[in-house]
Structure 1
């Protein structure tokens, strides 16, 4: 079977040769060194769990999806929105904008990872229309202090349609990895169209983008750059949102105030060691008693048969105690930190006295106070768009920073601690999750459990250390709880166990004496 080709005609072949010559030229090579690839197609390894979260569902932005048949019906809507912007400024029409873009085709191509099988003019018209549409959409987010003098009264095509679901779908599509265009193209159009100085135009655009990211980001933004930096230091709107979310990743961690209450770490450590020693002693006693009872049960002597009927429940309880005492979490054995986050859910942590408190900051601000048993987590704002935004932030991080998957690690942590609806309710009560009225508790729980596991996250030292502290605290408290149960139900019943052990010892002695006189081999054969 012949393989598929991107070339369908002779003109396609000619266009391909022209583009290859352009790409291999010295001038273009120097441009490729300056302009990094920043717009990618999402590979199937990242999108297979939920492909619709990465493929635009309503509107196409940029050359990757511009000519997709199912999205092309919205082209008329985009053109009308673009014309509204041009009519507002009344300086250039679409053709003039494209002519001004003529010398930037190489720069635009350099931003895309995939080979663009488009002629320069087609590419420039595509970017111009989409950039004008985005300006029409983003102007609603412009800071009020700017709105009076810039783009005021611009016709809003989204509002004219009057469908909120349409606006939510556009927001999701704008923040998809494949649906990006360089911020440079938006700035160039505004500089051409506006009569304001270029530095003010850059501030206007930065204000729109920052306001858009602040309103739709799943995490609170602590470090907010200037409006000028939002444009000059970030390639596109998804890149801006990602860096706003993980902006404090390389900064010193936020110190947590030390409070005087609570047990010290050294005291907990010594308590844990004492409990472990007690477990070992109990385990030895249980093992000896259990083995003796099993031997007594196998004896085929009529005198012992009435006793054997009462051994089954005792053996069952003893076996459970033995299994519990040998559990790795209760035996003092250290476990290696797994690559994928393994952590008790919110409900389990809450049952051993762990409290949850919101902490202002990005995901790197996550901390655990061992003295007070408080896990500090950033506030997470969820709505109908959150899942798509979070999945695309994870995918963008994997494509651009494969050695530092901090946001991916954060989503793994949240998926680890949220198992049921009850976990979501506890986090909402603690103020960690702020869910809009459009998103039910059940949908919030499904959002976390449905997050893709297709990425193998790298270890992030600070966050992994916090997870290790939480697990250690949980295991220690489990040991303490088990010790209390052991004290209440075992040590208080020491008379019964003493009597039982005495009976077993006497029974074994009697059997040994009996067998020293008579041949007992036939009695010890299993029934």
Structure 2
């Protein structure tokens, strides 16, 4: 009579043991996490706002979009560019590039957040084909002569579209792989620039490597762009002080006495506020500007959550742009150069680009700028001076009219005083 319950208990425990064994087996098969991870899929909350900004239009680089029929036409171009690249060093053959890349396979795989389901052969082929294409593309971009049979550079729209695709977060190979392949091709050429210098010439049109690059390890081409745009002398961030608020729109700041000045420095993150003057670097809005900004934002959200300079920048500009009136103020002062669209387009860009992002109030890069702007605008005297300047001294005619009115008022007061004095005597 006592056997029944025992058998029932055993039968109930077996499924638990089996389930525990299955889960442990799955845990044991997990790929170890790597601190080298730096290439990510764009988070869904950012991607859904503007899918096109994160998706390649012409070419797939790396594993995330590999095999998509949409990019099949460019696979032939990769092979053609591979042939051209290998010919740059007659002492090396394809096997040298493949074997060197395969030695670094594990380190390259560790750079990707997602598990890459490619065999060792497939992964190595991808690194060499994509890496050699990028390098040969850069060399052709900065070169003086273009092969008359080249199907990319004889169509400027194609070369611009490919350059845009190379700046997408999901379209990357590790930078160190590019350097390895480049160094093999130019190992005997002492006059050849470093690959970093070549990247500077192609990506930002700069003929030299900025000083702060020498202290930084570049992870990939998106990280290269972020590193370039970082302020060279980054202010020390206080990770505790959260006593600040975003300022009013730029038109409100202007009416409160803030003077706007455009900074021609192309480091668009370097915003300063000193002695009532807000210095904002010039921002050229072109066809691919939104895509570049969004990918920099996505990269920081994934990789630099405590040093999110680009995220802080778009949030700060979003706070300055409440409506089209604010856009007009920035455009009229030469801060925003808006070539392709209207004020409404600029307003929509900055109101949408910050959606889905998170930031830390304690490490917000422009916290001190916001604090000093609000303090300046909260001083009544500054607003009164602004009213005088904008309403009465905005042009020579209004200035003359104001001075004449003041002189007449003074003369009237003097005349009245003299008349009163005469009556008393």
Equivalent position to 2:375, from 448, 462, 472? 472
Superposed displacement of residue 367, structure 1: 2.2
In the alignment, which residue of structure 2 is the partner of 1:58?
Answer: 58
Deviates more, 1:105-114 or 1:187-196: 187-196
Structure 1 Cα separation of the partners of residues 125 and 47 of structure 2:
29
Structure 1 Cα separation of the partners of residues 297 and 129 of structure 2:
28
Structure 1 Cα separation of the partners of residues 159 and 243 of structure 2:
47
Structure 1 Cα separation of the partners of residues 125 and 187 of structure 2:
23
In the alignment, which residue of structure 1 is the partner of 2:137?
Answer: 137
SS at match of 1:72: helix
Equivalent position to 2:247, from 336, 340, 343? 343
SS at match of 1:101: helix
Unaligned runs of 5+ in 2: 1-25, 388-425
Structure 2 Cα separation of the partners of residues 241 and 455 of structure 1:
20
2:192 is the alignment partner of 1:206: no
SS at match of 1:70: helix
Cα gap change, 1:471 to 1:157, in 2 (>3 Å): farther
Cα gap change, 1:462 to 1:107, in 2 (>3 Å): closer
2:220 is the alignment partner of 1:240: no
Larger Rg belongs to: 1
Structure 1 Cα separation of the partners of residues 291 and 259 of structure 2:
29
In the alignment, which residue of structure 1 is the partner of 2:67?
Answer: 67
Structure 1 Cα separation of the partners of residues 80 and 208 of structure 2:
37
Equivalent position to 1:394, from 297, 314, 338? 297
2:38 is the alignment partner of 1:38: yes
SS at match of 1:180: coil
1:258-407 mapped onto 2 (5 Å cutoff): 337-338=244-245, 342-359=246-263, 360=265, 362=267, 365-369=270-274, 371=275, 373-407=276-310
Contact 2:81 2:133 in 1 (8 A): yes
Contact 1:94 1:128 in 2 (8 A): no
SS at match of 1:71: helix
Unaligned runs of 5+ in 1: 1-16, 254-334, 485-527
What is the alpha-carbon root mean square deviation over aligned residues? 3.6
SS at match of 2:211: coil
**TM-score for both structures, normalised by structure 1:** 0.59
Superposed displacement of residue 390, structure 1: 0.6
SS at match of 2:322: coil
Residues paired across the two proteins, number: 355
Equivalent position to 2:170, from 152, 172, 178? 178
SS at match of 1:427: helix
SS at match of 1:407: helix
Cα gap change, 1:58 to 1:141, in 2 (>3 Å): closer
Superposed displacement of residue 120, structure 1: 0.6
2:333 is the alignment partner of 1:433: no
Contact 2:315 2:354 in 1 (8 A): no
Equivalent position to 2:210, from 224, 230, 233? 224
Superposed displacement of residue 353, structure 1: 2.7
Superposed displacement of residue 226, structure 1: 7.6
Instruction: Give CA deviations for 1:384-413 in whole Å, capped at 9, x if unaligned.
Output: 111010111111111111122222111111
**TM-score for both structures, normalised by structure 2:** 0.72
Superposed displacement of residue 59, structure 1: 0.9
Contact 2:200 2:209 in 1 (8 A): no
Superposed displacement of residue 56, structure 1: 1.6
Structure 1 Cα separation of the partners of residues 299 and 261 of structure 2:
29
Equivalent position to 1:194, from 186, 191, 194? 186
SS at match of 1:114: coil
Superposed displacement of residue 424, structure 1: 2.9
Superposed displacement of residue 352, structure 1: 2.7
Structure 2 Cα separation of the partners of residues 157 and 450 of structure 1:
42
Contact 2:146 2:153 in 1 (8 A): no
Instruction: Give CA deviations for 1:236-256 in whole Å, capped at 9, x if unaligned.
Output: 111111112114363579xxx
In the alignment, which residue of structure 1 is the partner of 2:98?
Answer: 98
Structure 2 Cα separation of the partners of residues 249 and 367 of structure 1:
12
Structure 2 Cα separation of the partners of residues 438 and 206 of structure 1:
31
